[in-house]
A and B are shown apart, each in its own frame.
Chain A
Amino acid sequence: MTDRRLSSTSSGFNRRTFITAAAGTAVAVPLTARAAAVPASPASPQDPSLPVSLTLRINGEDRALTIDARTTLLDALREHLGLTGSKKGCDHGQCGACTVLADGRRVVSCLTLALVAQGKDITTIEGLGDGDALHPMQAAFIEQDAFQCGYCTPGQIMSAIACVTEGHASSDEDIREYMSGNICRCAAYPNIVAAVRQAAPEILQAAPEIPKG
């Protein structure tokens, strides 16, 4: 977390810094105190109350974790890896706020067990930009004013990128249909469609390959 963010609220803490800091603290406990008791392979029969050790590839980096087997990819990202960009909306696969890319395909991370995400290349909203340079879809969302409260936006942007690379952004009608898995309660839908339309040519030019599963 940057100093700039820390000083942006009067207390020196905003909600985002708090969640990130808390996640860092929580992960330290099982890693240090319980590591010896952790079975090496989560693929063998075991006591379900024991944590499991696994490695996730997130935004091009291998991240080792020791977590409860029940942990979803979304909770692993938010609560254990400090990546709070992916949002928890419904937590039941209905709203799309938690959308991430797995091997280039959009999935809802709230219905994906972290255990099942092993071996996949996971891309989150944090993995898009390059320093201060925004991804074309991020820039388009800002230019088209494609959000109000912003809570659904990381999921919208991840979904929008996949919508384009899948080849489903050739018309406004197509964009509306293929973005229907991302709910925006502020109803910024017309602006979201405009943002996807704006960013599509640049994204297709940069990465003309459509990811296949």
Chain B
Amino acid sequence: MRPFIYLKAYDPSAAAQALAAAGAGDNLLTDASIQPLAGGTTLIDLMKLDVMRPVTLVDINPLAAGWSQVSLEGDNLKLGALARMSDVADHPEVQQFYPVIAQSLKLAASPQLRNMATLGGNVLQRTRCTYFRDVSYANCNKRRPGSGCAAMDGFNRTHAVLGTSDWCIATYPGDFAQALIALDASVEILGKSGLRSMPFAQLHKPPGNSPQIETILQPGELISGFTITGRWPRSIYLKTRDRQSYEFALASAAVALDVQDGTVRDARVALGGVATVPWRALEAELLLKGRKLDDELARRVAEAALTGASASKHNGFKIDLGKRVVAHAVQRAAMMEI
């Protein structure tokens, strides 16, 4: 690990100020010389691997006192960015009214990592692409812009089939972000000019020709929290992986339904493990709205969810797997007793 200066921020404005010193040319997530440190489960790991090389760490854990709420205010769920994954997964109201959120968190990582990792850090988690994580591979457009993509000619079984570009096929690895994007959450961001709120769906950027830029966050900006409007008791997160526990998704689906008298009034579908960014399947949602769910509709919804998917050499199975996960998740959500 390279040497770094360690700063501790005791209030949000001090944190934003310290991080803003990174300079306009820096990207917060990738090359930034100044990085926020929360749970550290991604950052310290990638610093040991020499993938991330910050000159300064700004420890924002002292902000947890104000930024770790988990509270249901009327029909709005407020989640602080420094709430720990385990605390949110175990929260009774989250489990009851937002099972998709509780499950997405419980099925991620290990109990130890969930005790450490924060919600804000979780949505900014870096890809598990082997060629990104191992600096002995010279070609990685995400790590070294313009150097090429070793994954495209390499073993790409776990890579993305949606949202890919000629520059990058790395999979977005998280689970919680799929729940957030499905529920149309907003994200609150603290920056130099104060707090702003925007749709969570706009936070991540597809790789395009600059996969090193993963979000719209600017230097000095910090995620302070998330808001989910409305309650979604009929919702689930279904995750398929190579082993039953403690593994990243090969394909996953976050599904939330509002069903009245057998008819789907509102539907939300998002995919994980198959896309370069948290992926909302709007076409699939449209097919569900106003209809009664049966096997044939579930099949069509699943087809729609994977529209535009394109496989590399080893990950073609993900297209079919993703469809089956979506169909299964939609049917299970519809059958939930709430």
Contact = CB atoms under 8 A, between A and B. Distances in A.
Contacts of B113: 93, 108, 111, 181
A48 B47 CA distance: 15
A97 to B, nearest CB: 11
A96 interface: yes
Interface string B66-92: 000000000000000000101100100
A112 B4 contact: no
B311 to A, nearest CB: 28
Contacts, number: 95
B7 A108 contact: no
Interface stretch (A13-21, A79-87, A124-132, A161-169): A161-169
B40 A43 contact: no
Give the interface residue-count category, chain A. 35 or more
Nearest to A183: B246
A108 B112 contact: yes
A105 interface: yes
Interface string A16-30: 000000000000000
A65 B110 CA distance: 30
Given A42-B6, A111-B44, A180 B59 contact: no
A91 B3 contact: no
A123 interface: no
B212 to A, nearest CB: 23
B309 interface: no
Interface string B48-61: 11000001000101
B116 interface: yes
Given A48-B5, A52-B6, A106-B112, A113 B87 contact: no
A180 B110 CA distance: 6
B320 interface: no
* Most chain A Cβ neighbours within 10 Å, of B3, B110, B246: B110
Interface in B223-249: 245-246
Contacts of A43: 6-8
B209 interface: no
Contact of B245 (A96, A111, A115, A180): A180
B45 interface: yes
B116 to A, nearest CB: 5
B3 A112 contact: no
B115 A107 contact: yes
A68 B4 CA distance: 10
A181 B107 CA distance: 12
B111 A162 contact: yes
Given A48-B3, A48-B4, A180-B246, A116 B61 contact: yes
Given A52-B6, A69-B4, A180-B245, A111 B111 contact: no
A179 B112 CA distance: 9
Nearest to B18: A45
Nearest to B40: A111
* Most chain B Cβ neighbours within 10 Å, of A48, A49, A91, A178: A48
Nearest to B59: A116
B190 interface: no
Given A69-B4, A113-B44, A181-B111, 12 more contacts: A43-B6, A48-B55, A69-B6, A93-B41, A106-B115, A107-B112, A111-B44, A113-B40, A180-B245, A182-B110, A213-B86, A213-B115
Top 5 A-B pairs ranked by shortest CB distance? A181-B110, A48-B3, A180-B245, A180-B246, A43-B8
11 contacts: A45-B7, A93-B112, A111-B40, A111-B113, A113-B40, A113-B44, A115-B6, A116-B40, A116-B59, A181-B111, A213-B115
Interface of B: 1, 3-8, 37, 40-41, 44-45, 48-49, 55, 59, 61, 84, 86-87, 90, 109-113, 115-116, 245-246
Interface of A: 42-46, 48-49, 52, 68-70, 72, 91-93, 96, 99, 105-108, 111-113, 115-116, 159, 162-163, 166, 168, 176-182, 212-213
